[in-house]
A and B are shown apart, each in its own frame.
Chain A
Amino acid sequence: DAGVTQSPTHLIKTRGQQVTLRCSPISGHKSVSWYQQVLGQGPQFIFQYYEKEERGRGNFPDRFSARQFPNYSSELNVNALLLGDSALYLCASSLTVSYLSGYGYTFGSGTRLTVV
């Protein structure tokens, strides 16, 4: 079975531009979460979607938005890019919105975004 797939793997954008990152969860997983990891830091939560509905949002500006499609894949959009948006963007999938069942998340390899 394929794991969590993210595209593209690397991306270079100019300040002010917009970017769309994509994530395909593991087959059967209905929850997708997005995390931002700045170099030298741990990942920070951006969004969680379950059954196409937003279930949680981290402390990020409105320039960040996301959606989940009927096939449970997801897109993360960032508008008006700033230099500080340069980071590794990670997508994680899970069976349910809560991991109290005892299973951890499965993360993709991430998209490395560089804003110049």
Chain B
Amino acid sequence: SQQGEEDPQALSIQEGENATMNCSYKTSINNLQWYRQNSGRGLVHLILIRSNEREKHSGRLRVTLDTSKKSSSLLITASRAADTASYFCATDRGSTLGRLYFGRGTQLTVWP
């Protein structure tokens, strides 16, 4: 069953704008990860944020985590056409075994 719920399901913006995607989950977690997928290909790992962290940065990406609200957000600043992809959040549901539970994803389209 799906764990995370990303919203919006689809997001369309112009190059240079910021894109914000949200993820909500239902159980306790150890970590939360964000992945990108281009056109039904493999997933690319973007960021992992631990449950005791509140914010993490990687280049143009900023991830926040609010465990009290069981939610996370992914911000992509100064979007580029190449950022067009589906973005998924994944959690471990508190398990240490490494199994990931993914949401349905947000389809981001960045127009030139």
Number of A-B contacts (CB under 8 A): 84
Q: A41-B104, A42-B105, A100-B30 are in contact. Are A33 and B98 (CB under 8 A)?
A: yes
Binds B, one of A12-20, A60-68, A71-79, A106-114: A106-114
**Chain A nearest CB: distance from B90 CB in Å?**
8
Least distance between B59 CB and chain A CB atoms (Å):
15
Write the B85-112 contact mask toward A (1 if CB under 8 angstroms, else 0): 0001010100011111111110000000
Cα–Cα distance between A97 and B99 once the two chains are bound (Å):
9
B10 → chain A, closest Cβ, in Å? 11
Chain B, interface size category, equals 20 to 34
* Contacting residue for A107 out of B40, B44, B92, B105, CB 8 A: B44
A88 and chain B: residue at smallest CB distance: B40
Residues of chain B contacted by A100 (CB below 8 angstroms): 30-31, 96
Do A42 and B102 contact each other (CB < 8 Å), given the known contacts A90-B43, A100-B30?
yes
- A41 → chain B closest CB, angstroms: 6
**Can you give 20 contacting A-B residue pairs, CB < 8 Å?**
A4-B42, A37-B40, A41-B2, A42-B4, A42-B105, A43-B102, A45-B99, A48-B97, A56-B97, A58-B99, A98-B96, A100-B31, A102-B48, A102-B50, A105-B45, A105-B98, A107-B42, A107-B45, A109-B42, A110-B41
